[in-house]
Structure formats: C-alpha cells, structure tokens
Structure 1
Amino acid sequence: MALPCSRTSTNCFNYAQSDAPAVKGLWTHLAGTYDATTGSACLYVNGVQQAGCLTGVQAYDGGALMLGRARWSGNLVEHWQGGLAGIRVYSGIRTATQVQDDLTDDDPGRIFGITH
C-alpha cells in the first residue's frame, strides 16, 4: 500500500508493506486502512495487521485510486502479477474486527481455483 509523500509528488511514496512475501498459488486477503485524523495507514494480510503501519502520513485528493499498479513520473508501473477479486472500497475507518469479518464473508480466491 502506498501513499504519496506530498500533493505534488510524482516520485515519492510512503509504503506499508507485508511482514512476509506472498506465496505463489495461494489466495491472500489484503486490506489497507487509512485514518485521516491520525494520519495512520495500515496493511492487513489475511486479517492480521502488519507491523509496518505508517504514521503521520497525509492522503491527498485529486488522484485516482489505483489497484494492481502505481504511477511513477507519469507512467503506470509495478503491475500486479496475479488476479484481483472481491475488491471493496469503504468510506470511513475500518476496524481490525471489520477487516477480519471481510476476510470470512466470502472467498474470492475460488474464482481462480485457489483456496485460502
């Protein structure tokens, strides 16, 4: 999960990353949360909050929400090598419990024949 360093930044991002690399062939539930009041952004992997939460970051409006890619110097880069399914975007802050509930509500991995 990446947030730009500033409103005008095109080559600087703050990243919240997973604690471990992804496992090829295994469906993984990813969720990112952002709290504009505290400036914290966290990544959850399979319902577990990762250690690398960002603090004191600002999300900037005016840009597109991107899934499975990033923009660097005006170019689309870092294309996701895999499938995306079950995408949800919520307004408001999701709690850890709500993120875990989303994990068990359905299993989009079955679309690709992958079990959780």
Structure 2
Amino acid sequence: MSDENLLLWRSVDISHNQYSFLIEGVGFFDGTMGPSTRLVCDAALVQTICKSGDSEFLAVTKVYLISPPWMNRQNERLMEPLSEIRLQSADKAPPIYEFVTSAGQTYTSVPQPKST
C-alpha cells in the first residue's frame, strides 16, 4: 500500500459507539473511472447508493459493516462484509435496522439488553 493511502487511513475518525459502513465500488474521481471507496454512517444512504448509485459510484462491489463492541458483543470493532440491510422499524426515530453479514451473523442498529 502506498504512503498516501496509509495517511488517508490515519485520518479516519470513527466514533467508538457508532456503527459505520465502508462502501467499495467503481466510479468517477477527478473525471477518471476507477476504484472508489467511501466511509458512511447512515444505513439509508448505503441502501440508496447500492440501489441507484450516485456521482461517485457507478457500481457497488462490496459493503462492509464496521461494528462497535456493543453491537458485536466483543471487546473490539469488527469489519465484516455485508450481504443485506433490513429495515425493521421505520416508525421509530432513528429507524431500526438489521445488518446481515456474509457469514450469516445478524446485528441490530440499537443496543440490545445483555443476556445474563
């Protein structure tokens, strides 16, 4: 990996308590088509980009969920490929989502009570 890419990753700030997504795909950057990546914190935006694209993405090739410890029940963040985002409840603010990973693990967008 080149030094300029390492510097980019050093500048990413992710809240410890917030889940986020890394979107990979193909799009235009400075008028040239090529690989494109974006870090997003909004599930609805991820769904919109995957369905209809935007100015940066002509096609999405992979979406990763970056889950905080409260979501994945481990003591660290995990970055896992996603296979599906499901809207569970739109009548709450914020909406409640389920995220299904490629490995079949399901996470919810709201903290769940700890099982005893």
Kindly indicate which of the two structures has a greater share of residues assigned to strand. 2
Higher relative contact order (CA 8 A, sep 6+): 1
Kindly indicate which of the two structures has a greater share of residues assigned to helix. 2
| TM-score, structure 2 as length reference | 0.30
* Larger CA Rg, structure 1 vs 2: 2
